[in-house]
Amino acid sequence: MRRRDFLKTVVVTMPVIGRLEAGAVETQSQGALPTDDWLTRWEKNILSDARLRYCDKEMGEELGWLVSPFLNGFYYGYMATRDVKWIDMLIDWTESCIRRAVQEPDGFLGWPKAETEAGDRFNTDSLLGEAMLLRPVVLMAAEILRTPAFHEKYGQRARTHLDMAERIFDKWDSRGCWRQVPDGGLWVVPHFGIDPSTGQWTEGYTRRATDGFSNPANKENHIAQWLVAMHDATGKPVYRERAQKWFQLMRSRMKTREDGKYFVWNYWDPAGPWDYKADGSPKHWIGVHPNGGYYGIDVEAIVTAFEHGLVFTKADIERLIATNRDFMWNQQVADARFRRIDGGQPDPRWKNSPGVLWTALVPYDDTLRKVFLANHDPSDWGGLSTTPWFLAREASIRSQSRREQTP
């Protein structure tokens, strides 16, 4: 398996702490949890892996798959511990990336990387990579700005980071990468880049409003989660509106099976004429992807949307729980395995992850929570962000419970 494919299986972007929709089914078990050493093991792992300093070298889409897991870990690490060293580490990594950004022909900053398409070689940046990179940066900036004690030390950095994130949105919007479609809207990968021999756009730039390739669902969902964070941080309607339009399209593509008990959806669907070849055939295969990790990303975004009152309903969450718990899971808590969302045979390339636990649903179902507690490794790659996210969420629930019990 290629490195990027492995990372896509385990990279997660968890919903924001403390944004549960009213009436959500958040069942919490009582008694001691097997998490006493999770924070220690997680911290040892993330500090060790952070020595790799991906922030000093990665470009393009790898900003998402290699840099963002650490930024998410730093953000949720702060939320779990309230230790400002995690703020300092997030700022350090963010500033390292910003220093390496280059000005592109339209004046915007980016992190272009060499790509080859139809034999043509050019440099191009990645909306996906930048969205994944910026979401934890935006979340931390918002946390800083809502905390008066941080304004003197961190306030200006937070405002600068938010301004940069807004300019990145403007960049992709101006390049014709947003498309309105009948059931909503989505982002496309542009078919142009920077010619390394001239430093100017390749000829595809003139067709930027009509060419392109629609991102698959997991990538659209990463982008949408960034936009939700942008709306939370700035209050500007455009970010929520764009996220909502994608979630509307996503929901329209989700089908039910077995008399409506379970959900199933494709990895990619064509969205417009740009997604078809000259002979009328789609540019990409259509169906369920054998990498179950992609569907975990989709569910994270769906839960984020639900918790923000966007498109998805409590009934949708309950059907997702049924899909993961009643159809995909092998019913073994201690050695949990999950099959494909459509029940298909595993692909040898992803033989260990035809399906995965949809961790974002853990706060909404006690059984899935037990599976998570029994199987989660706080010190693996996926644990970089999932571990502190879970611990922060648990701490938030305990704090809220204590406040409610105070006379």
| C-alpha span between 128 and 60 (Å, rounded) | 9
Fold category of 3-396 in CATH: Glycosyltransferase (1.50.10)
| C-alpha span between 93 and 50 (Å, rounded) | 10
Q: How far is CA 100 from CA 55, 60, 141, 183, in A?
A: 9, 12, 20, 38
pLDDT in tens, 258-301: 999 999 999 999 999 999 999 999 999 999 999 999 999 999 99
**Pair of tokens at residue 145:** 């700005």
CB atoms within 10 A of CB 242: 23
Residue % of the chain over a pLDDT of 90: 86
Phi, psi for 268 (deg, rounded to 5) = -145, 145
pTM of the model: 0.93
pLDDT of residue 167: 99
In terms of C-beta density within 10 A (0-12 exposed, 13-18 middle, 19 or more buried), how is residue 137 classed?
buried
Helix or strand (DSSP H, E) at 187: strand 184-189
Contact 91, 154 (CB under 8 A): yes
State the pLDDT confidence band at 51, using cuts at 50, 70 and 90.
Answer: very high
**347: amino acid identity, one letter:** D
Secondary structure (3-state) at 188: strand
Would strands 213-214 and 255-257 be described as parallel, antiparallel, or unpaired?
unpaired
Domain boundaries, the chain: 3-396
pLDDT of residue 32: 54
Q: How far apart are the first and last CA of the chain?
A: 57
Give me the helices (H) in 235-365, please. Answer: 237-253, 293-307, 314-322
Residue % of the chain over a pLDDT of 70: 88
pLDDT of residue 364: 97
pLDDT in tens, 72-128: 999 999 999 999 999 999 999 999 999 999 999 999 999 999 986 655 689 999 999
| C-alpha span between 244 and 247 (Å, rounded) | 5
Q: Among residues 361, 370, 265, which one has the least CA distance to residue 321? A: 361
pLDDT of residue 130: 99
| C-alpha span between 382 and 380 (Å, rounded) | 6
In terms of C-beta density within 10 A (0-12 exposed, 13-18 middle, 19 or more buried), how is residue 277 classed?
exposed
CA torsion through residues 104, 108, 113, 119, sign: negative
